[in-house]
Structure 1
Amino acid sequence: ECGSFPKPTHVPSIAVRVGAVYMLFILTVRAVWRSAEWRTEAMLFRSGLAVCPLNAKVHYNIAKNAGDAGNRTLAVSEYREALRLHSEYDQAMNNLANILKDEGKLKEAEDLLCKAVKLRPDFAAAWMNLGIVLAGLKRHAEAEQSYFTALVHRKKYPDCYYNLGNLYLDEQRYEDAYRAWRNATALKPTHTVAWSNMIIMLDSIGEMEKAETVAQEALSILPMEPSLHFNLANTLGKAGRFAEAEKHFTEAIGLDMKNPVYYTNLGVLYHRWKKYDKAERLYLRALELNPQLQSAKENMALLKRARSRMTGRH
């Protein structure tokens, strides 16, 4: 009976080929699925949640991704869930506190950061963030001590020096603020906001020459930074150096054509320079970009009054 079956000479090779094709198909389908599933970090973390719903790290990753994408509501919810699952998750405390701080919920932010640094005393970022929160609560001495503690644990910390400078500015300790921001830019020469704060502060306290020197130094490092051209232009304009100010306002606008404040301030310069047509065009452009910009509205009204007075004289 067995002899009636055909000889299985080629069956194994056919089976192998079919099996190989099938396996390749399965692997391809899985690869496509994984590629689709992992196309974004958010989807990747969501897939982790389906596998490990009680894993605090998975919820932390979802929260961090949501926060980076600007979805604060989801970020807060997921950080809270991470902390519910792992009550001593210090990094989750720090990140949640940062969001709460930005929302003005300073007391809860303070509580979270105090707990974080108690769990990890060398947590420099949490110490710095605690300093920011305490400064927001006007508890300046405690804020300063928090910044100092952060700097003990991370000596090269430009952002901490920057925030320390902001604290000193709030206390009108101008020399200390200047030194702190200098430390920030020494450690990170591209720290734009530290440079800007130095220029603005020096200008505001009447140290115009020093403000100009700092601005030129900053621009030698960051020649394409519009805010630095803008701040230097404001200083030069106050000093009555209109042509130089015009040059730097124009540079700022060329680098950031969507900033209505830049147009407004160049308009003010032309207004003071009695180039009224140019001033009007710039105020109008500022209001096109931001119809609610109060400074542009007020300056436009002043310009109209000035022109009507001139017309009345004639």
Structure 2
Amino acid sequence: MYLRGSHFNLNRRRRRSNPVRVVVLVMLIGAALYVNQFVVPQTPPLFVPTPTPTRAPESYAIEAEQLANQGKFLQAIQVYREALLVDPKNPSYHLALARLYLYTKQYQQALESAGNALLQNPNNAQALALRGYALGLMGDYLQAEAVLNQAIELDPNNPVPYAYLAEVLGLKVQSGEGDLVTLNRAIDLSRKAQSLGPDLLETHRARGLVLELTANYADAVREFEAAIAQNKYIPDLYLALGRNYRAIPDYPKAIQAFGNAIPLAPTDPLPYMYLSKTYLATGELTRALQYAQQALSHAPTDPFLYGNLGVIYYRTRDYVRAIQYLRIAVRGGTSEDGQPVQGLALDYYPISEYYYTYGLALARTGECDEAVQIARALLQGVSNEDVSVSNAQEILNICGSQAAGTLPATQPSATP
């Protein structure tokens, strides 16, 4: 029986299965199972970043140390900062950064790096020593002494805090804030550091500074040369060496030492200033002017550099330019790019030299009203300084002679 017109014929004969088709179907099913089981798990998902291998923190330290050993302090600083992104609680990175910041005169950053190490361990004697030294180099002598004494208490056999404290006390004496007791303590501390670590750079540097302060210049030279032998990439060591060679005096070696500092710190005005003073002492006024101008270009708001340049112009008898620069050093003013320059209050040498040279230049060009004021200030303010008193009297003599008509004022020459 079947239904007419229906597509469903119940008596229709079934076709026989095609064996080839069955085999192909089985193979496709097997391939699909293989892909699902083995291929898909190994295929990364789309639009997901491919993971990259993480750099070991130790490799940063190795690279930074190699850079520091080559004198590439700024690059080493950058690598240590990258290391801290990977391992922010590693105190050795903070300590290494603090030392490098000190070498590059970035004292505030050195203070912060030492402080970060102290956050991990408040009794870290190395961190305290670096912190105290940074404070001393920033002029905070009282706080520096307290911190360095704390470092010594925690690690009394470590020569470095003794050396740092000796140097800080020496700087305190040099600044005029210390006395003979302070100097004697600095001497004792430098000897203590020498007894504990005679071959350390820090010991040689501290001993050298103390010897310089006590006018033992030849001995200071030996100490600074020994410090440079430990690390030949620290510009301040060459400046100290040059100062002592100049004091001996050995001008050629002083010039060489100051020159060695320039490629290590090309934007630091101090090497140029020291070179200008050395060439002034040798009578090479053209070179002295060139280096004084370069020093000022690197620090156009430093009144000492205006005074230095003004003194050299006076020596060349260019009184107009001498007055121009010395007036800024003494009275204050603005730099060529419009920045304010704070004038220097009268004090003993070297500031007194700027004052009496300014007064002499004024007197020689007939500006005696202001020149006499300068002379009187010198006689009252630095009466114990013979050179200043003598020059103040010379200012008054010149102006007195001009008033009497026996000495005409020097006519200022035109300056290009």
Q: Fold match, TM over 0.5?
A: yes
For 1:98 and 1:282, the matched residues in 2 are separated by 36
| Counterpart Cα distance in 2 of 1:305 and 1:276 | 11
Cα drift, residue 307 of structure 1: 4.6
Match of 1:162 in 2: 239
CA distance in 1: counterparts of 2:286 and 2:319, whole angstroms:
16
- Once the two structures are TM-superposed, the CA of residue 138 in structure 1 deviates from its matched residue by 5.4
1:104 lines up with 2:183 in the alignment? yes
Question: Counterparts of 2:222 and 2:397 in 1: how far apart (Å)?
Answer: 52
- Mean alpha-carbon deviation: is it higher for 147-156 or for 100-109? 100-109
Cα deviation for residue 199 of structure 1 reads 1.4
- Within a 5 Å distance, the mapping from 1:207-226 to structure 2 comes to 207-226=284-303
Q: Are 1:95 and 2:164 counterparts?
A: yes
Query: Which residue number corresponds to residue 21 of structure 1?
Result: none
Instruction: Tell me what 1:28 maps to.
Output: none
For the pair shown, the structure with the greater C-alpha radius of gyration is: 2
Q: Which runs of 5+ in 1 are unaligned?
A: 1-40
Q: 364, 384, 387: which is aligned to 1:272?
A: 364
- Tell me if structure 1 keeps the 8 A contact 2:166–2:189: yes
Using a 3 Å threshold, how does the CA distance of structure 1 residues 274 and 210 change in structure 2: closer, same or farther? same
- The match for 1:229 is 306
C-alpha distance in 2 between matches for 1:299 and 1:136 = 26
Structure 2, unmatched stretches of 5+, are: 1-110, 172-181, 334-340, 407-416
CA offset digits 1:246-271 (Å, max 9, x no partner): 23223433223233344442221011
Paired AA for residue 214 in structure 1? Y
Q: In the alignment, residue 150 of structure 1 is paired with which amino acid?
A: A
Contact 1:184 / 1:191 at 8 angstroms: preserved in 2? no
Q: Which moved more, 1:92-101 or 1:296-305?
A: 296-305
Determine the structure 2 residue equivalent to 1:113: 193
Q: 2:204, 2:226 within 8 Å by CA — same for their partners in 1?
A: yes
The answer (yes or no) to whether the contact 1:264–1:282 under 8 Å persists in 2 is yes
**C-alpha RMSD over aligned residues:** 3.9
Equivalence map 1:9-48=2 (5 Å): none
SS in structure 1 at match of 2:191: helix
C-alpha spacing 1:313/1:280, structure 2 compared with 1 (3 Å): closer
Once the two structures are superposed, residues 28-83 of structure 1 have per-residue CA deviations (whole angstroms, 9 ceiling, x without a partner) of xxxxxxxxxxxxx9xxx9xx9xxx99885797589668757867567546644543
CA deviations on 1:226-277 (whole Å, 9 max, x unpaired) are 3223222211212211222223223433223233344442221011223322
Contact conserved, 1:236 with 1:244, CA < 8 A, in 2? yes
- Equivalent AA in structure 2 for residue 195 of structure 1: Y
Describe the shift of the 1:274–1:57 C-alpha distance in structure 2 as closer, same or farther (beyond 3 A): same
- Could you say which residue in structure 2 is the equivalent of 1:36? none
Does 1:199 find its partner at 2:276? Answer: yes
Residue 97 of structure 1 contacts residue 112 of structure 1 at CA under 8 Å; is this kept in 2? no
Q: Deviation at 1:173?
A: 0.6
TM-score, normalization by structure 1: 0.67
Identity, in percent, stands at 22
Deviation at 1:137, TM superposition (A): 5.1
Q: Would the aligned equivalents of 1:117 and 1:127 in 2 still touch at CA under 8 Å?
A: no
CA contact (8 A) 1:198 1:214 kept: yes
Deviation at 1:163, TM superposition (A): 0.4
CA distance in 2 between partners of 1:72 and 1:218 (Å): 27
**Structure 1 CA distance, aligned partners of 2:255 and 2:298?**
18
Please give the per-residue CA displacement for 1:263-311, whole angstroms capped at 9, x wherever unaligned. Answer: 4422210112233223224446x56xx9413466655544444455555
Provide Cα deviations, 1:152-207, integer angstroms capped at 9, x if missing partner. 33221100000000121122110100111111222112333332222122112211
Whether the 8 Å contact between 1:94 and 1:116 is mirrored in structure 2 is: no
Q: CA deviation at 1:145?
A: 3.5
Amino acid at match of 1:96: L
Contact 1:166–1:177 (Cα < 8 Å) also in 2: yes
Cα distance in 2, alignment partners of residues 159 and 65 from structure 1: 15
Which residues in structure 2 correspond to 1:139-158 (within 5 Å)?
140=217, 142-158=219-235
Structure 1 residue aligned with 2:342? 256
Instruction: Calculate the TM-score normalised by the size of structure 2.
Output: 0.52
